Structure 1
Amino acid sequence: MARARASEGLSPTVILAAGGLVLVVAVPFLFILLQAVFPALGRGSLAAPFSAVSGALGDARLLGMALNTLLLGALVVALSALIAVPLAVLRALFRVPGALLWDLLFLIPFMIPPYIATLGWIMTLQPKGYLAQLLGFDLAAFLFSVPGIVFVMTLNTFPVVYFAVSRTVETVGSRYADVARVFGAGPARAFWRITLPLSTPGLAASLLLVFAMAIEEYGTPAALGRRAGFDVLVTAIDLRVSDWPIDLPGAAILSLVLVMLSFAAFLLQRWILTRRSFQTTTGKPQESAKRELGRWRLPVIALFATVAFVATALPLLAILATALSRTISGGLVWSNLGLSNFTAILSDSTGALRALSTSLSLGLAAALITGILGALSAYAVVKAKMRGRGLLDGLTILPNALPGIVVAVGLILAWNQPWLPVTPYNTVLILLLAYCCILLPQPVRYSTAAFHQIGDNLEAAARVFGASPLTAFRRILLPLILPSLLASMLLVFAVATRELVASVVVAPVGVSTISTYIWRQFEQGSVGLGMAMAFVTILITTALPLIVLSLMGRRGSLL
């Protein structure tokens, strides 16, 4: 038995997962940890260990910022669940008219860069903003407040919950609830006691991701929180990295505080998932037919349309209005509108198309790499019988607890060592490593939730008939988790194509991405040109999600 377990632990699947996690996650995090312990690491010295800890943790504002960070994460999680879970359940169990269109519309908010969406909301709700110009009043007091920050961030994160829960509930199906109804349970009781509990893996995984995204997001708290007097840990980390004198040890120490907060949420998720079994895929065919909405058809369509209008249409209209404006001060008048910004983008006179090509290529590569590594890592954690899988699971959640700028610093410290014979530093590969490190938790969490619902008997049967662990994974398990995995890869692609902070720090000289291009236009005062680039990017990046979502809608042919 011990030899069997050891052999299982050293299977090719587990080795690939462990090697990938070490390269993508452990190496940069190790150097962040070393920087926190040894303040002079950047100068090649290990002197005065732990000397920076007391100064960073002794900051009187630290407790308040930590509590604000927890509050922000909890509120965004709660509001995201309130919006996304009802929509996801309706999408999974009923024939919602235009289901693929709603999927696409709900993906777009996640694809809009948070700093762009926040600027769009500022230009809409601020005094003399678009809302004031059209209707005569503004909502600046709401926007520059804690509820306003939570509202804007939720519109960016609720698609994570929507896609995860809808795919999970769709996998569970209505078969178990139908059995409960045969024995006298009403529809509501069958849902609350059967369907929703069996969907816990997808719900817990997505809410963990939302919490991690909320506590590490920089753009929205920086733009809205300062005017509201609402400081969080990530803005404090940015000050230590960007303001002179640079305090890399202090930034690393505060980042470790974020790690502990994220790990607390991670342990809560683990506790929820290990309390009971959530296996629903046993090899028996399941009924996938969805129910008709009947008299609830119009109210459901109205609900989906309302969320799509607020989350997708309003930000897009604000971005488009700014992109069409010749001058920001000119306002929403016909004489101030034109296509000059789009002409400059499409003519590539400012290098926009080169930046677009670079980001799309990196986004696709990051989605493929994190998808493969995420599936392998989730298998190693959930299915492999091996010691140390808890350590692997911990490595998968680490990146989402670290701000992108700290990940970038860790990559610089790790790969800019003079003794390395070959290094990706100062090449486009360093950007790919940064994106993979930051975004790996999403495919891992989605795949982990899917593996928790697959019984062990399917893989065991394949092994009995001579399949190797890698073959059983590729031919049996991977097709079963493919819908959830593809959904997570879409999210990785959406984020990677517009990631800002790490791109600004580690992008090689002469390499421009979408986010760095937009950021530079903002710095130069060309807000309209930056918004035009953002709008063109959103339009182009919807093509791939549309194709993939269509394939997922016909997943029977995929499997």
Structure 2
Amino acid sequence: MSEALLERPQAPLPSPPPVRRGLRRLSPLTVVTWLLAALLAFFIAYPLVQALLGLIGLDAVPGQTADSPWGVITHPETLRALLNTAILVLSGGAIAVLIGAAFAWLNERTNARIGWLAEVLPLISMFVPSLAAAIGWVFLLDPDVGLLNMALRGLLSPLGISLDEGPLNIYSWYGLIWTYAVFLVPFAYLAIANGLQSLDPSLEEASRTAGAGPARTFFRITLPSLKPALGSSIMLVVVMGMALFSIPVIIGTRAGIEVLPVLIVQDVTQSYPVDELSALSRSAILLAIVLLAGFLQRRFVGAHRAQAFATIGGKGSRASTTELGKAKWPARVLMVGYLAAAAVLPFLGLVLVSLQNFWSATIDWASLDFSAYAEMFSRPVLREGMRNSFLLATGCATVVILFAVLITRLTEYSRGGAPRIVDGIVKAPAAIPHIVFALALIAAFGGPPFGWTGTALILIAAYIVMYLPQATFYSAAALQQIGRPLVEASSVSGASDTRTLRRVLLPLMVPGLVSGWALIFVLMAGDITASAMLASTRTPVVGFVMLDQWSHGSYPTIAALGVTLTVVSTLVVMTALRVRNRYRLR
């Protein structure tokens, strides 16, 4: 349906009944949504309350880090890990925000955009699960047997530079900071790109009309207007970085750089009896830091709000493209170069090791085979791990998107304070590090009367609650693109809320919902932060299995799992993009 048709002058419609517009009458759909909101509130609040009560009532047992929460918090091991975590998150996060902002501006405001590939490039590192990516970088940059290091030593040898190891070392501060930054770039990009899409382009056009150049317009108009988006991106990288477990457990442990998430998982999985006091106390530190970051974000953003969302049936305008001139192709080369450095290199490392019988820097091309893949499909625990991950990701991503649609419809089209409370509740997990929430789930549902420890139920609860904020982000963005007059017209014509949702809202929301579903599928399928504590040999998932194989030194098998997971994730995302584009063309 064209914009011209939607904006054609028509006879004024009668004002819609306030019962419909305000959703004051509790329709069956609204009742179901309120019940769903109450259920979600229980699964969010109850675990956190149980964890807090458990922390207050815990007594120290022999062999634990300290005999009180304050003793754990002030313990030298905890303070050292806290400092290391802060350094990695601040430095890696700053790099991620810079790269994400550059990608967002190039894709949304300049002629350097590379067609459909522009939508994939900033998110490409997300296709390789964080655990697989960390292992891929180890295969490349191990100082002794790293494939890339071996190639670099071969190139330097004719120049008279002879090295026994290196020249690069992934087990270092710069190696960790680089991998943190690559992991965090997609989260920074999504927030900033959304801000640019929502920014009123007339402000920038007025600046250029007044004679300001691209640089002056960017720093005087665009950047100040992006304060909410920048605040969101900083908040996202802090939350994700503070809870990141996969990269530091693979790289940081060997480098001697301990971080809080690794210590928390070790308190739960490697201590006997389980060191609940240390785990809960250290989790409280992470939660306090994230809450402080949220407070600072709100202060930073202040009263600046980007306005004027482009809407279907509204008067949104399209931003004009900034011509980069001769800088266009260098910008494109930089974007493609990032693709190669962030995702292609570690993926190639995984592929090469998966074809070897054992990890070796010297590649015998004649002996490469698919035995690791055969083992992956023949061993029950590996096969079940893959199957469980894909089934859980498919089912939970679908449920989360449907929940998000219902909740977003309620919060966007309802009046009063209650919908705002619901909106705050469903978005609260975004401010809770995944590792903290996983520990809270164990405290709440692990023991009697639930007994969910190591079962699929606790994984399902974790995935739905942890990734609901991301789903509501996509659902709200899709709903905000739909003009309210379309919904009001459906109500005036006598359609029920359910019929309006099915016949008006959902068809127009499909492109945004498909994108959100694909992203959540990738995150769930490759999850390791929660899976490391919640999965078990009874209900294995890929992240849990890969971590177990790493501890046993089964490197080709790990690589085969990583390659398979990456290929499936990429195929899912590419299929989702095709479906989305097909709906956009209708």
Asked whether the two chains share a fold, i.e. TM above 0.5, the reply is yes
Contact 1:234/1:403 (8 A) holds in 2: no
1:152 is aligned to 2:187: no
1:135 is aligned to 2:135: no
Code of the aligned partner of 1:539 = V
Q: In the superposition, relative to structure 1, how do residues 68 and 529 fare at CA in structure 2: closer, same or farther (>3 Å)?
A: closer
1:207 shift after superposition: 2.9
Query: Which string of whole-angstrom CA distances, capped at 9 and with x for unpartnered residues, describes residues 64-113 of structure 1?
Result: 43333333222222100111211122112345464323433543421323
1:156 shift after superposition: 1.5
1:324 counterpart residue number = 355
Contact 1:443/1:489 (8 A) holds in 2: yes
CA distance in structure 1 between the partners assigned to 2:515 and 2:354 by the alignment? 30
Contact 2:199/2:307 (8 A) holds in 1: no
1:341 is aligned to 2:357: no
Q: Secondary structure at the match of 1:99?
A: coil
Identity within the alignment, %: 26
2:272 counterpart residue number = 244
1:264 shift after superposition: 1.4
1:15 shift after superposition: 2.5
2:138 counterpart residue number = 122
CA distance in structure 1 between the partners assigned to 2:583 and 2:318 by the alignment? 14
CA distance in structure 1 between the partners assigned to 2:79 and 2:246 by the alignment? 21
CA distance in structure 2 between the partners assigned to 1:31 and 1:531 by the alignment? 39
Counting only pairs closer than 5 Å after superposition, residues 235-314 of structure 1 correspond to structure 2 as 235-241=262-268, 242-281=270-309, 283-287=314-318, 294-314=325-345
CA distance in structure 2 between the partners assigned to 1:280 and 1:554 by the alignment? 26
1:356 is aligned to 2:373: no
Identify the range of structure 1 (479-488 vs 364-373) with the bigger mean alpha-carbon deviation.
Answer: 479-488
Contact 1:202/1:450 (8 A) holds in 2: no
CA distance in structure 1 between the partners assigned to 2:463 and 2:455 by the alignment? 14
Q: Show structure 1 runs of 5+ residues with no match.
A: 43-49
1:479 shift after superposition: 7.7
Match of 1:34 among 42, 50, 53: 53
1:99 is aligned to 2:115: yes
Q: Secondary structure at the match of 1:190?
A: helix
The count of corresponding residues between Structure 1 and Structure 2 is 544
Contact 2:198/2:306 (8 A) holds in 1: no
Q: Secondary structure at the match of 1:542?
A: helix
Q: Show structure 2 runs of 5+ residues with no match.
A: 1-18, 154-162
1:306 shift after superposition: 0.9
1:315 shift after superposition: 0.6
CA distance in structure 1 between the partners assigned to 2:221 and 2:491 by the alignment? 33
Q: Secondary structure at the match of 2:390?
A: helix
1:90 counterpart residue number = 106
Query: Which string of whole-angstrom CA distances, capped at 9 and with x for unpartnered residues, describes residues 233-285 of structure 1?
Result: 22222232222342112211211111111111222333344513322126214
CA distance in structure 2 between the partners assigned to 1:296 and 1:554 by the alignment? 32
Q: In the superposition, relative to structure 1, how do residues 169 and 479 fare at CA in structure 2: closer, same or farther (>3 Å)?
A: farther
Match of 2:91 among 75, 83, 86: 75
Identify the range of structure 1 (32-41 vs 145-154) with the bigger mean alpha-carbon deviation.
Answer: 32-41
Contact 1:415/1:425 (8 A) holds in 2: yes
Q: Considering only CA atoms, is the larger Rg found in Structure 1 or Structure 2?
A: 2
2:535 counterpart residue number = 507
Q: Secondary structure at the match of 1:328?
A: coil
TM-score (norm 1): 0.83
Code of the aligned partner of 1:314 = L
Contact 2:93/2:180 (8 A) holds in 1: no
Q: Secondary structure at the match of 1:165?
A: helix
Q: Secondary structure at the match of 1:150?
A: helix
CA distance in structure 2 between the partners assigned to 1:223 and 1:329 by the alignment? 18
Q: In the superposition, relative to structure 1, how do residues 382 and 271 fare at CA in structure 2: closer, same or farther (>3 Å)?
A: farther
Contact 2:109/2:322 (8 A) holds in 1: yes
1:56 shift after superposition: 2.1
Identify the range of structure 1 (350-359 vs 431-440) with the bigger mean alpha-carbon deviation.
Answer: 350-359
1:21 counterpart residue number = 40
CA distance in structure 2 between the partners assigned to 1:189 and 1:325 by the alignment? 54
Q: In the superposition, relative to structure 1, how do residues 23 and 490 fare at CA in structure 2: closer, same or farther (>3 Å)?
A: farther
Q: In the superposition, relative to structure 1, how do residues 72 and 416 fare at CA in structure 2: closer, same or farther (>3 Å)?
A: closer
Code of the aligned partner of 1:212 = V
TM-score (norm 2): 0.79
Q: In the superposition, relative to structure 1, how do residues 472 and 184 fare at CA in structure 2: closer, same or farther (>3 Å)?
A: farther
CA distance in structure 2 between the partners assigned to 1:314 and 1:86 by the alignment? 22
1:532 shift after superposition: 0.8
Counting only pairs closer than 5 Å after superposition, residues 332-411 of structure 1 correspond to structure 2 as 332-345=363-376, 347-350=377-380, 352-374=382-404, 385-386=416-417, 389=420, 393=424, 396-398=427-429, 401-404=432-435, 406-411=436-441
1:204 is aligned to 2:231: yes
